[in-house]
Amino acid sequence: MTVSSATRTAIFIDGANLYATAKALGFDIDFKRLLAEFQCYGTLVRAFYYTAVTEDQEFSSIRPLLDWLDYNGFTVVTKPTKEFIDAHGHRKVKGNMDIELTVNAMELADRVDHIVLFSGDGDFRSLVKAVQRRGVRVTVISTISSHPPMIADELRRQADVFTDLMELQSKLGRDPSPRTAPREANQHTTHYVQRRAPSGGGNVPAETRT
């Protein structure tokens, strides 16, 4: 990835989408490495991380990750998930963060030169077109290396630059943990698993959903 040292960059991470993409490729994201990597390219104006959370859980193991991100240079944007019953009587959980990400990106578009979007969601094509009309270059990071690909074709075509996450594994991936497999939470909806790490600048907690 080639970016001028004078470039002002903002990062927008669709948390659930990035998790699913990394899982499809078989590795976890090290967010400390991710932040450091993009701080090497010009001025990093802001790094946003978006995810929905289930508030009625006594303990959500995604919380250590969100707390770490919040204390270590990321702007964390969350909202509660919503439960509903579909037409077949099945309980569903909804937690879409597209609107929040889009609003923040449009607010920053006049103050940055480059936006990096970690998502493969085709709904973001209109956002990408809108910020491009304001002169902002957009790099989209997802993957076509999985089967099926995790990025919508229309989003990939709209981006100024598409980078396959697989190509960044050596820079952004977590080192394999020597510890045993983490315990899986027993829930009926989205499952979160926490990889615990020592405090004080140790490994970053990982968001894991099954």
**Predicted local confidence at residue 209, as pLDDT:** 52
- Compute how many other C-beta atoms are within 10 angstroms of the C-beta atom of residue 93: 14
Evaluated on CA atoms 105, 106, 112, 114, the torsion sign reads positive
Task: State how far the Cα of 36 lies from the Cα of 154, in Å rounded to an integer.
Answer: 30
Report the length, in residues, of the chain.
210
Q: Return the DSSP state at 151.
A: S
Q: Please tell me which residue, 110 or 82, carries the higher pLDDT value.
A: 110
**Predicted local confidence at residue 143, as pLDDT:** 98
pLDDT at 99 over 50: yes
**Predicted local confidence at residue 207, as pLDDT:** 58
**Percent of the chain with pLDDT strictly greater than 90:** 65
Average pLDDT over residues 102-130: 98
**Predicted local confidence at residue 202, as pLDDT:** 53
**Predicted local confidence at residue 196, as pLDDT:** 33
Task: State how far the Cα of 76 lies from the Cα of 73, in Å rounded to an integer.
Answer: 9
**Is-contact 72 205, C-beta < 8 A?**
no
